[in-house]
Homo-oligomer: A and B are copies of this chain.
Amino acid sequence: MADTKDRILDAAEALFADRGLFETSMRAITRAADVNLAAANYHFGSKEALIQAVFARRAEALNNRRLEALADSRARGALDLEAVLDAYIRPALEMARDEKAGRYIRLLGRVYTDPNSRAGQFLPRQYDATLEAFKPEFIRLLPQIDKTELYWRLHFLIGSLVYCMAGLDMMRLSSSCYLCDPADTEGMIRRLIAFVAGGLRAAASAVQPPIQPAVTG
């Protein structure tokens, strides 16, 4: 049996992932957690603080799993591009399969594209350092790609990943995706790695400089 604080965090995490931060009331959370409304405010102080607690609880675990995966691969000496991508992508998508932590991954995928959400203010702090730790590997493995280009590509990579995290429910968005099995985590991980590896390795010359070099307003 989880104690009150954990039950509130679990219920909040699940409801936030399903309905959104703002759409979820403290009353709905405490009802789901079978806890008194006043108790939630006693433990967390405010809804805002509860939101932060929900995110803080899992961020460190995800960061650690990514950094450990990178260190493990490095220890085995086999640090090619696919291995680096695996270390970054796999922890997130495997966590998505976990019944409880999976709700956090879905939630994270949702608020990631939400710059004005309150989450947009602390998420960078929670995940920036880990991305920075991966960056030297990308630079080393893709010396032919200039840095501006590379950073754009990392941006695109994160977009694909976040979209997968946000929910495989979204696959309905295209009716034709009936062939894709959202439950096939391993297939999704491998396919995503192959896709972004291909994108990262694409010839830099494929991008011509803008037609109007610098004078554009």
Taking Cβ atoms with an 8 Å cutoff, the residues of A that contact B are 18-20, 22-23, 82, 109-110, 112-117, 120, 123-124, 127-128, 131-132, 135, 147-149, 151-164, 166-167, 169-177, 179-180, 184, 186-188, 190-204, 206-212
Contact = CB atoms under 8 A, between A and B. Distances in A.
A210 B196 contact: no
Count of this chain's copies in the oligomeric assembly: 2
B198 A186 contact: no
Contacts of A155: 163-164, 171, 174, 177, 180
Nearest to A146: B179
Contacts of A209: 187
B210 A202 contact: no
In the complex, the 10 A-B pairs of residues with the closest C-beta atoms, listed nearest first: A159-B163, A198-B202, A194-B206, A113-B166, A199-B199, A195-B199, A159-B160, A156-B160, A115-B169, A186-B210
Main secondary structure of the interface of A (DSSP, over half): helix
Which residue among A135, A156, A166, A192 has the maximum number of chain B CB atoms within 10 Å of its CB? A156
Given A113-B163, A132-B176, A156-B191, 15 more contacts: A18-B116, A22-B23, A113-B167, A135-B176, A151-B179, A152-B180, A152-B188, A152-B191, A156-B195, A159-B160, A190-B206, A190-B210, A194-B204, A198-B203, A199-B199
